[in-house]
Structure 1
Amino acid sequence: MKNWLLLSVLLSVKPAFSSPSVEMLHWWTADGEESALAVVAEQFDSLPFTLKSEPITGGGGGPAKAILQARAIAGYSPDIALMEGPAIQSWAALGFLNNVNEVAASHGWDKSLYPDIKAIHQYEGNYVAIPLNIHRLNWMWINRKVLNQHQLSSPQTWESLLLALTTLKANGVSPLALGEDPWQIVQIFENIAFGVGGANYYRQAFVDLDPDALNSSETLEALNRFRALANIVGNDLPNISWNQGTKALLDGEYAFQFTGDWALGEMFSFEGEIPDYIECSAFPSTEKGFIYNVDSLAFFTKITGEDRNMIPIMASLSSPQFLLKFSQKKGSIPAQANISVNELSRCQQKSYQDYTHASTKGAAMPSLTDSMAVNPVLQNAVSNELYRYFMDPSISAETLIGHLHAINNEVFR
């Protein structure tokens, strides 16, 4: 009897060699991100492959992108890599990426993808990566319990926001959940810049890096506001990650957090839903708009000296059912326009409404900080200058603008 039982167990176990592993390099390491990653892993349960997750710690994905580049140069790229923005076309131009045209055709991407999202994922007429979702960056996350304790209402303008932050600090309350990571800080600047000048200015100044836009009164005003915020929160920032900041916001240690809706994924992982006392509000702006980031998956060619048929994986990771489940955990909205958001949270439904409105009005803008607007060389150079400006009060706005001009001339000369 024991022998028969042992035999039945052995027969029920799928041999390791029957499911070749597929390596995916990514930077989803926070709790909410790991919940979304689990949805990816579930898709592999019905595939003849085993997912080998390779997480690289580091908010914003900087370390992961560096490791990906080093591995590609050394000749052992992962099978799949998480990517963002212009990097997709750069990798495709170098010949590293498989096209996903077959899957794009089966899902009707020419019609179901938003125009901005479609452009990001194409190179020379081919689709070269799978768009998973759309994150919004110009959010304010507000703990209304903390505001109510100090008789403050949710701010709708920059002036009322500055007053709330100042009042909280004067009352001994830490106003803003913000760590010392450069990307956390610079992300706030792009929210401020959009809030000052709107979509056209943001595009000209921080996507096109137009000299006239950079040297405008709007840039000076944006930098002055950035400095005002620095003066309130100080340059001695805590060493906390963005997800630690979200947890502290939920616990009432802070009143505000200015970050993308990946914060929602953390809230879902902590609370199961958005607590009633948490408010999601667009960052104050003279014009309604949406600053976005997109999580994309790219499939590398000649990974281990042999080509594999990755079509089943591509198809599985681009199905509408999967994309909806993924956004339910990640806090984002699906990248395909044909997916209903009725099952998503109140904040995600608001994000969807604001994105579709902004997209039709030309007010949906790619994030500079999160690798969506410009190439990585420009992104890093501009971000470093803005970070130094925030941390060093001796740097004037005029000096910073001069540095941005110099970067632009150096890269494009």
Structure 2
Amino acid sequence: MRISKLVLGISMALGLSMAAHAAEVEVLHWWTSGGEAKSVAELKKMLEAKGHQWKDFAVAGGGGESAMTVLKSRVVSGNPPAAAQIKGPSIQEWGDEEVLANLDGIAKAEGWDALLPGVVADVMKYQGKYVAVPVNVHRVNWMWANPEVFKKAGATVPTTWDEFFVAADKIKAAGMTAVAHGGQPWQDATMFESVVLGVAGAEFYNKAFVALDAQTLNSPTMIEALKIFHKIKAYTDPGSPGRDWNLATAMVINGEAGMQFMGDWAKGEFTAAGKVPGKDYICVAAPGTADDFTFNIDSFVMFDLDDKALQVGQNDLASTILSPAFQEIFNLNKGSIPARLNLPMDKFDDCAKLSAEDFVSTAKANTLVPSMAHGMSTFSSTQGAIYDTVTEFYNSDSITAEAAADKLVKAVAAAQ
């Protein structure tokens, strides 16, 4: 009887302790496609195993623009979520608003500085303090190809832009779509930055999209890249405008199209469809970019909240995100590579292993560059100005590349 009472007392105490720390953690994100949704489900499961409730705040839209619009309205109204998917320079913008929680406590306790590459850790900090936790590292400058489509067309997977147009002509002549593309501004910009990188290299890319140098933005080299970018449109299908990125990926998966320019989150779609790299699909760097790496880091910020239980929930969420178990399972599902250093890559496929190797080698060679299209190189206002100029040019047959380059300089200057 005494033992039963003791056990009951301990159970009640544990229950009260868990109740005191349990929180309903609302998480804003835009991971709604197959591979992404699967990854979110794992994070939810792991957080709930720590005694918290996950409140899903999903806003569809691959580039996150819709999610950011909704988030701003929530923060302005004084009702921010506990956590939100935010990345790149946008973290600094939110830091300036003085609405982010300081994660230095959990970061120091778990040794984040030793776990993360310096380039990743720097993005996660505001004024030297952690305010965000990285989920992964994406390589953006991938090209995905369906080998069966290439075989039917008698084409070879290209490594240069000249080879690209030869292959695209053969696929088009065989009655298939050469390039699966979703005509949305962020997807246009994703393809555009890979073209610029492939034509001009990392040093030029940094001058254009990090330094925002006017002479570089309106140069013969940029004009050449713009011409190649616009020429690709002729190899897409009439259903391209407005198409979501994962539907474009599905065209490659199903053999309706030969290629897609998209970051390695596309691999999550191939994986979810049961496809095997090297057999059912091929992953190669976009033409001319094999020695370069455009990175996109997904991360979560925590908002400054007074609720102590929610603060515990936020720390537990941050800890879960950077845990080896979640880093592995998330990135296996998502197609990306772990942000955390020295995790075994045994379970990862050849595309991920190549990405991990190139991430390290390009960092040493100074050819690791932040993705403009995915909010890693510029503030959102400048990124939006580039989006508008690039998309307008891509969708017009009357704007010359020279005029587009001139407009790019003016748009960027006006946005700063």
Report the TM-score when normalising by structure 1.
0.92
| Superimposed CA distance per residue, residues 75-114 of structure 1 (whole angstroms, 9 cap, x where no aligned partner) | 1000010111011111122111112112322333223322
- Distance, in Å, in 2 between the alignment partners of 1:286 and 1:181 is 23
Query: Residues 334, 306 of structure 1: CA spacing in aligned structure 2 closer, same or farther, 3 A cutoff?
Result: closer
Match of 2:150 in 1: 147
**Aligned match of 2:64 in 58, 61, 64?**
61
Match of 1:334 in 2: 338
Report the secondary structure of 2:51's partner residue.
coil
Match of 1:5 in 2: none
- Distance, in Å, in 2 between the alignment partners of 1:76 and 1:305 is 16
Deviation at 1:303, TM superposition (A): 6.6
Deviation at 1:253, TM superposition (A): 0.6
Q: Tell me, yes or no, if structure 1 residue 228 matches structure 2 residue 231.
A: yes
Query: Residues 319, 306 of structure 1: CA spacing in aligned structure 2 closer, same or farther, 3 A cutoff?
Result: closer
Report the secondary structure of 1:365's partner residue.
strand
- Distance, in Å, in 1 between the alignment partners of 2:237 and 2:82 is 43
Match of 1:293 in 2: 296
Match of 2:27 in 1: 24
Q: Tell me, yes or no, if structure 1 residue 277 matches structure 2 residue 280.
A: yes
Asked if the contact 2:179/2:235 (under 8 Å) is kept, the reply is: no
Q: Which moved more, 1:326-335 or 1:229-238?
A: 229-238
Query: Residues 154, 273 of structure 1: CA spacing in aligned structure 2 closer, same or farther, 3 A cutoff?
Result: closer
Query: Residues 390, 99 of structure 1: CA spacing in aligned structure 2 closer, same or farther, 3 A cutoff?
Result: same
Match of 2:171 in 1: 168
Q: Tell me, yes or no, if structure 1 residue 43 matches structure 2 residue 46.
A: yes
Deviation at 1:130, TM superposition (A): 0.2
Deviation at 1:409, TM superposition (A): 2.5
Match of 1:317 in 2: 321
Match of 2:358 in 1: 354
| Superimposed CA distance per residue, residues 261-302 of structure 1 (whole angstroms, 9 cap, x where no aligned partner) | 111111121216547121000011166100111110111112
Query: Residues 171, 253 of structure 1: CA spacing in aligned structure 2 closer, same or farther, 3 A cutoff?
Result: same
- Distance, in Å, in 2 between the alignment partners of 1:41 and 1:104 is 21
Query: Residues 275, 334 of structure 1: CA spacing in aligned structure 2 closer, same or farther, 3 A cutoff?
Result: same
Report the secondary structure of 1:59's partner residue.
coil
- Supply the AA of the counterpart residue of 1:355: F
- Distance, in Å, in 2 between the alignment partners of 1:168 and 1:272 is 22
- Supply the AA of the counterpart residue of 2:347: E
- Distance, in Å, in 2 between the alignment partners of 1:402 and 1:103 is 47
| Superimposed CA distance per residue, residues 236-282 of structure 1 (whole angstroms, 9 cap, x where no aligned partner) | 62543111122221110111111011111111212165471210000
- Supply the AA of the counterpart residue of 1:360: K
- Supply the AA of the counterpart residue of 1:164: A
Match of 1:343 in 2: 347
Query: Residues 248, 329 of structure 1: CA spacing in aligned structure 2 closer, same or farther, 3 A cutoff?
Result: same
- Supply the AA of the counterpart residue of 1:392: S
Q: Tell me, yes or no, if structure 1 residue 199 matches structure 2 residue 202.
A: yes
Match of 2:408 in 1: 404
**Aligned match of 1:87 in 85, 90, 101?**
90
**Aligned match of 1:380 in 355, 373, 384?**
384
Match of 1:7 in 2: none
- Distance, in Å, in 1 between the alignment partners of 2:290 and 2:215 is 21
Query: Residues 305, 388 of structure 1: CA spacing in aligned structure 2 closer, same or farther, 3 A cutoff?
Result: farther
Q: Tell me, yes or no, if structure 1 residue 138 matches structure 2 residue 157.
A: no
- Distance, in Å, in 2 between the alignment partners of 1:156 and 1:275 is 16
Gaps of 5+ in 1: 1-10
Asked if the contact 2:155/2:171 (under 8 Å) is kept, the reply is: no
Q: Tell me, yes or no, if structure 1 residue 209 matches structure 2 residue 212.
A: yes
Gaps of 5+ in 2: 1-10
Q: Which moved more, 1:212-221 or 1:272-281?
A: 272-281
Deviation at 1:331, TM superposition (A): 0.6
- Distance, in Å, in 2 between the alignment partners of 1:240 and 1:32 is 18
- Distance, in Å, in 2 between the alignment partners of 1:85 and 1:363 is 18
- Distance, in Å, in 1 between the alignment partners of 2:62 and 2:307 is 29
Query: Residues 231, 83 of structure 1: CA spacing in aligned structure 2 closer, same or farther, 3 A cutoff?
Result: same
- Distance, in Å, in 1 between the alignment partners of 2:56 and 2:178 is 37
| Superimposed CA distance per residue, residues 155-189 of structure 1 (whole angstroms, 9 cap, x where no aligned partner) | 11111111111221122211111122121122100
Match of 2:396 in 1: 392
Query: Residues 250, 286 of structure 1: CA spacing in aligned structure 2 closer, same or farther, 3 A cutoff?
Result: closer
- Distance, in Å, in 2 between the alignment partners of 1:287 and 1:242 is 23
Cα-Cα RMSD: 2.2
Asked if the contact 1:133/1:295 (under 8 Å) is kept, the reply is: yes
Deviation at 1:233, TM superposition (A): 2.7
Query: Residues 166, 284 of structure 1: CA spacing in aligned structure 2 closer, same or farther, 3 A cutoff?
Result: same
- Supply the AA of the counterpart residue of 1:349: K
- Provide the identity percentage: 31
Query: Residues 61, 303 of structure 1: CA spacing in aligned structure 2 closer, same or farther, 3 A cutoff?
Result: farther
Q: Which runs of 4+ in 1 moved over 3 A?
A: 14-19, 272-275, 303-307
Asked if the contact 2:154/2:170 (under 8 Å) is kept, the reply is: no
| Superimposed CA distance per residue, residues 176-208 of structure 1 (whole angstroms, 9 cap, x where no aligned partner) | 111221211221000000011111100001111
Query: Residues 275, 50 of structure 1: CA spacing in aligned structure 2 closer, same or farther, 3 A cutoff?
Result: farther
Q: Which moved more, 1:89-98 or 1:23-32?
A: 89-98
Deviation at 1:235, TM superposition (A): 7.0
Aligned positions of 1:85-124 closer than 5 A:
85-124=88-127
